[in-house]
Chain A
């Protein structure tokens, strides 16, 4: 049998392709979604160092890759584990280990992935560049899952072999991890010393500005933020960055009592951008702080035409009457405060209803129903919240890693529970199958034994050997008669009997003619046997070979049956043992999955309720403030009694 070896690709090529391929797939979606973009417009990262496809040396490894490349990391992982246990992946042992780590990552099993990467990548023969990239992706996952300290330690300890683009992202993420932990000075040191590539420069400067302001180094921070806020606009990305910098700058200056500078920064924020409501609100406060209450009404009134779900809009409901009051227009102020109270009260009722719905656990069911079949994909991410009242308040929450990751866990538990439910059905069928095989084997065995006893393979083989020896002797002695057919034998024997008669009557002249005929016949017979001997010998030899082949097949079948007879009982016992062990494991795991799913649901509801309660609290505060202001106006308007 032939084995056709395939050319082996260069080691680093395969390693890198595997690592990059897997981790890129596993990390791209969460990033993009958390950034608030529509998942349908996603593209996977086009890594400049991504390398050509892997050349497979083992069909089973190729099968794992096929599952993985068609976006089914779960099946890929199961097959990889199973094939490895079956001893199929020896030609790709190292690749398989890395792929395994990557697959665990893509299924959110970062603890197991971390363990595998640590084990594999610390081996000295793994190229430094591959090790660094794998660690980079691992640290990115830690970061996304909120393990900022772990992410920081990996990012900080990484070698310098990353491609420039990836290294820039590493520094940016490291700075973020530090900021999340409140490590402002190390973040400032990192960002200050970083000569970022042009496409990252604005972002690095923005983060530096934020860090400096938070570290009470206001003027330094303002300088950085002002630089970003006045960048020449070159497309949506820069415009969005400018808005963020100007907003941050404006509020920082407002907080430190510099309303004039704050107003300038806030005016630079685009009116149609996502940060425009906060900017309009801030600009109003800046003008109010400068005593320009009439001018402050312009941005605040602009806000009142926008959705009340926005915190800045809610705040404008208080700011507008405050400005009227400052301008002495008490009647309008009262009217506006009352409108605000009415709007806040209506919003609080909706919030109460939404919190009640969340506490009943309806949100997760609605999301699952809403997603329908899309839920099945293993790289599933929620794209849109279902259209229920509580969804309106959860947009911000949806962008958070905690909520997304918790949601992914919930969904993974749900899909795994379905997966085990399907296996449980199969296990029932397997159980029947094993029982049926046990019965059939018990019935088959006596008949098979009887048949086996009737087949004397050794005797047949012996007869074949004897015949082969006779052929060899006849060929050696050129004994044509030995290869004669049965009819020829009969003729030959007749001739021999005739010869005996002639020998017994040597002087009988009546037999002279018969004797001549006998000699002629004997000669013809001898010539025929002699002249056809080679052909006959070849034919017989061919038949004997066929017989030998048939005997070998018989022997093999016999051995097969004998083996089955010996091994089948043990195999059936083994199947039974494994089935008996698996059935309770599956049942227990299903119970645990259901319990954990409930816990996860509870956790998600807690997150969502906390978000809504925050909103509720803010509205309550606004209501108190509105009532207080209203009372103050009424109090002012009431004529005081003369003592």
Chain B
């Protein structure tokens, strides 16, 4: 079925509301007949809006408290499990992609697999719109480390495509942020896979 345009839906809503409002004030002309007068067409009598609004305000206050709680819990969890001095976060971004359709990413740090992620269509769309996925959050000691990422998907001409990228990086005392970036290399008509460090 063809989706009905939103505009049409919105207009239908407005008219529906109008019709209800209208009919509420319109008695059936039954009184003009000699028959027993039937009741007018049904219009729901809802509790007065203030009742909903008062409850709604209380619900919003409570939801706000839960949102604040979640923020505090999220921060505590991160600090506890991934302290800043050992934290390493690996992000993935897409700046494409005419030449590559990402299916999955496998991530290895110091020859240990730490992430293996299969993307949904919605997640790919999120990445294409500018979202950046935090693919891995972990802890590493101070010193040199190696990260290897394998990207699997469809390359040019819809062929199966698997490529890797590597980076050796120093891990200091502070948190370390690394970006895996997939972009187009226009001249070669090929995708490009880059790993880079952020401060």
Contacts and interface: CB of A to CB of B under 8 A. Distances in A.
B61 to A, nearest CB: 8
A4 B60 contact: no
Interface centre among B1, B29, B79 (most CB of A within 10 A): B29
B91 interface: yes
A176 B44 contact: no
Given A41-B4, A399-B16, A607-B47, A254 B28 contact: yes
B189 interface: no
B34 interface: yes
B41 A278 contact: yes
Nearest to A262: B29
A481 to B, nearest CB: 39
Interface centre among A36, A59, A214, A557 (most CB of B within 10 A): A59
A430 B36 contact: no
A214 B28 contact: no
Nearest to B1: A41
A257 interface: yes
A203 B11 contact: yes
A247 B15 CA distance: 12
A409 B12 contact: no
Interface string B34-55: 1111110110111101011101
B23 to A, nearest CB: 7
Interface in B118-175: 120, 122-123, 125-134, 142, 170, 173
Given A210-B22, A289-B32, A31 B46 contact: no
B185 to A, nearest CB: 16
A470 B89 CA distance: 46
Interface in A37-78: 37, 41-46, 53-56, 59-63, 65-71, 77-78
A43 B62 contact: no
B59 interface: yes
A439 to B, nearest CB: 16
Interface in B1-25: 1, 3-19, 21-23, 25
Contact of A207 (B18, B63, B64): B18
A110 B64 CA distance: 11
A603 B51 contact: yes
Contacts of A399: 16
B131 A611 contact: no
B9 A589 contact: no
B56 interface: yes
A31 B29 contact: no
A600 B59 contact: yes
Interface centre among A596, A606, A628 (most CB of B within 10 A): A596
A222 interface: no
Given A63-B134, A78-B74, A203-B14, A289 B69 contact: no
A35 B3 contact: no
Interface in A364-401: 396-397, 399-400
B66 A589 contact: yes
B110 to A, nearest CB: 18
A423 B68 CA distance: 13
B188 interface: no
Contacts of A527: none
A206 B123 CA distance: 43
A403 B30 CA distance: 32
B27 interface: yes
B44 A111 contact: no
Nearest to B130: A53
B66 to A, nearest CB: 5
Given A31-B6, A255-B29, A629-B35, A86 B75 contact: yes
A43 B44 contact: no
Contacts of A110: 60
A109 B49 CA distance: 17
Given A59-B91, A289-B29, A586-B69, A248 B60 contact: no
B33 interface: yes
B129 A69 contact: yes
Contacts of B51: 603
B74 to A, nearest CB: 4
Interface string A222-252: 0000000000000001001100100110011
A394 to B, nearest CB: 10
A618 B131 contact: no
B41 A409 contact: no
B70 interface: yes
Contacts of A240: 12, 15
Interface stretch (A129-137, A318-326, A453-461, A498-506): A318-326
Contacts of A28: 6
B59 A326 contact: no
13 contacts: A2-B197, A56-B130, A59-B177, A70-B125, A146-B49, A207-B14, A210-B21, A318-B35, A403-B46, A405-B52, A405-B56, A426-B77, A599-B55
Given A32-B9, A402-B47, 14 more contacts: A3-B197, A59-B198, A62-B93, A146-B52, A180-B17, A214-B22, A237-B12, A248-B26, A257-B29, A419-B70, A599-B58, A603-B52, A603-B55, A607-B46
Closest 9 CB pairs of A and B: A62-B132, A66-B131, A69-B126, A254-B29, A53-B130, A322-B35, A625-B36, A35-B13, A311-B42
Interface of A: 1-4, 21, 28, 31-32, 34-37, 41-46, 53-56, 59-63, 65-71, 77-79, 81-82, 85-86, 107-112, 145-147, 165, 169, 172-173, 176, 179-180, 199-200, 203, 206-207, 210, 213-214, 237, 240-241, 244, 247-248, 251-252, 254-255, 257, 259, 262, 278, 281-282, 285-286, 288-289, 311-312, 315, 318-319, 322, 325-326, 396-397, 399-400, 402-403, 405-406, 409, 412-413, 416, 419-420, 423, 426-427, 430, 433-434, 556-557, 560, 575, 578-579, 582, 585-586, 589, 592-593, 596, 599-600, 603, 606-607, 610-611, 614-615, 618, 621-622, 625-626, 628-629
